């Protein structure tokens, strides 16, 4: 899960659970290495996207069907931030988010 830290940096949280060969250190190391490989690939892509955003800051996003969830989440967060900035009490903002 990517969680923004600043305008240009994010935290990347991940976890994995398995229910087989729990005591096998070789399997643990294999799983760890596979996750690190995937993480490195993600970093490459994320850095490439950021480079494109930096190069073309005014370019409009092209949204596709798979973006529907994140787009909705961004819109909800934007609305909550706007309401919070307008001085609405925190609990009122949370109730609005649940609607």
- Decide if 12 contacts 1 (C-beta within 8 A): yes
- Decide if 50 contacts 56 (C-beta within 8 A): no
Beta pairing partners, 16 = none
- For each of the chain's 99 residues, which pLDDT tens digit applies? 778 888 888 888 888 888 999 999 999 999 999 989 998 998 899 899 899 989 999 998 888 999 898 888 888 888 888 888 888 777 776 776 666
Number of domains in the chain: 2
Q: Is residue 26 domain-shared with residue 13, that is, in the same domain?
A: yes
- 87 Ramachandran zone, left/alpha/beta (phi>0; psi -120 to 50): left
pTM of the model: 0.55
pLDDT at 6: 86
Q: Which residue segment(s) compose the domain that 21 sits in?
A: 1-59
- Decide if 14 contacts 5 (C-beta within 8 A): no
For residues 46 and 4, give the distance between their C-alpha atoms in angstroms, rounded to a whole number. 13
In this prediction, what percent of the chain has a pLDDT beyond 70? 95
Q: Is residue 76 domain-shared with residue 31, that is, in the same domain?
A: no
């Amino acid at each position: 899960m990517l969680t923004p830290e600043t305008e240009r940096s994010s935290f990347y949280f991940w976890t994995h659970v398995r229910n087989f060969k729990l005591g096998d250190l070789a399997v643990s190391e294999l799983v760890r290495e596979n996750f690190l490989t995937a993480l490195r690939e993600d970093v490459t892509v994320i850095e490439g996207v950021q480079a494109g955003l930096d190069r073309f800051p005014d370019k409009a996003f092209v949204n596709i069907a798979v973006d529907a969830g994140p787009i909705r989440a961004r819109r909800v967060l934007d609305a909550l931030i706007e309401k919070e900035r307008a001085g609405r009490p925190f609990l009122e903002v949370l109730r609005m988010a649940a609607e």
